[in-house]
Amino acid sequence: MMEEDFYATLKLKTGEEVFAKVAASEEEDRTLLLVSNPVIISEIKTKFGVVGYKVEPWLKTTTEDLFILNIEDVLTMSESSDIEMIMIYQKFVRQSQKDSGNPSKLNRRMGYIANVNDAKEILEKIFKSS
C-alpha cells in the first residue's frame, strides 16, 4: 500500500541528512521509503550570516532519480512544509532534468578545441619557451 508523496528531511543512520520527495510503502513485514531526487542542502554562511543554500545530489555518480530505503536505515524523518526549501528543491530538480535531457555540445565559443596531438605540440612549445 502506497501513501501520498510528501517532502521530508531524512536523517540516515550513516549521518547523512537528505531532503527529498518521499512516499512510504508497506511491503510484507517492513516499511520502505521511495525517495525521489534526494539532495543534500548546505547553508552558505558568511560573517554576516546565512546568505544562501548549496544544493547537491545525494549520489553524484548515478543518473537515477528514485531510490528505495528501508525505514530501518532512517534515524529520523521530518515532513517539511517550508515553502522556501521546497521551491529550492523543485528548481534544482527541474534544472537537473533539463541539463541531463539536453547535454550541451562543444563549440568554439566555449574555448579552444584541439585534438590531443595538436594540444601536446602547443603545450610542449610553451614549456620549452619558458
Tens digits of per-residue pLDDT, 1-35?
Answer: 556 899 999 999 999 999 999 999 888 888 999 99
Predicted confidence band of residue 83 (pLDDT cuts 50, 70, 90) = very high
Q: What's the fold here for domain 6-103?
A: SH3 type barrels. (2.30.30)
Find the length of the chain: 130
Closest to 33 in 3D by CA, of 63, 54, 58, 53? 58
What does the mean pLDDT of the chain come to?
A: 86
Beta strands at 66-70 and 6-12: parallel, antiparallel or unpaired: unpaired
Closest to 20 in 3D by CA, of 97, 78, 61, 71? 78
For residue 37, the model assigns a pLDDT of: 95
Tens digits of per-residue pLDDT, 37-59?
Answer: 999 988 888 888 878 888 999 99
